């Protein structure tokens, strides 16, 4: 089952940074943190992932605490199109199949 805890919903003003927290206090040393999002009922869309270092790509930044028990996804300038459910997922190892466990996620509402 899902090994992460996320707030059920968050609001963010358009143009501001959206900071989505995730707790994964039972994460193991070889488990990666992945973030996906789902807009309406579309297929989940990959955003970013990391192991222990902070990561940044064209979509977002991922900040992982030093003890790796929590992380924050940052959307630097949220737009209305970023309204979606955001899932934080931990995955075992690098070579295992991607049997991701999706939790309930955080519903991000970006408001004008």
Partner 1 sequence: EPEVTQTPSHQVTQMGQEVILRCVPISNHLYFYWYRQILGQKVEFLVSFYNNEISEKSEIFDDQFSVERPDGSNFTLKIRSTKLEDSAMYFCASSEPGGVVEEKLFFGSGTQLSVL
Residue 100 interacts with partner 1 (CB under 8 A)? Answer: yes
- Whether the CB-CB separation of 6 and 88 falls below 8 Å is answered with yes
Among 43, 53, 58, 66, binds partner 1 (CB under 8 A): 43
Among 19, 31, 61, 102, binds partner 1 (CB under 8 A): 102
- Given the complex with partner 1, which of 99 and 112 has the nearer CB atom? 99
- Smallest distance, partner 1 to C-beta of residue 14, A: 26
- Smallest distance, partner 1 to C-beta of residue 87, A: 8
Residue 99 interacts with partner 1 (CB under 8 A)? Answer: yes
Interacting residues with partner 1 between 60 and 89 (CB under 8 A): 87
d(CA 105, CA 4): 9
- Whether the CB-CB separation of 103 and 6 falls below 8 Å is answered with yes
Number of neighbouring beta carbons within 10 Å of residue 27: 21
Residue 97 interacts with partner 1 (CB under 8 A)? Answer: yes
Write the CB contacts of 95 (distance below 8 Å, at least 6 apart in sequence).
none
- Whether the CB-CB separation of 11 and 111 falls below 8 Å is answered with yes
């Amino acid at each position: 089952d899902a090994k992460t805890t996320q707030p059920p919903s968050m609001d963010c003003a358009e143009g501001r940074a959206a900071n989505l927290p995730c707790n994964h206090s039972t994460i193991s040393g070889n488990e990666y943190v992945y973030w996906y999002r789902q807009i309406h009922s579309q297929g989940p869309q990959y955003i970013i992932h990391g192991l222990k270092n902070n990561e940044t790509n064209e979509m977002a930044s991922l900040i992982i605490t030093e003890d790796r028990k929590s992380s924050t996804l940052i959307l630097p300038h949220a737009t209305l199109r970023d309204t979606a459910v955001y899932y934080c997922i931990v995955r075992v190892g690098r070579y295992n199949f991607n049997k991701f466990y999706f939790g309930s996620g955080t519903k991000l509402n970006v408001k004008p």
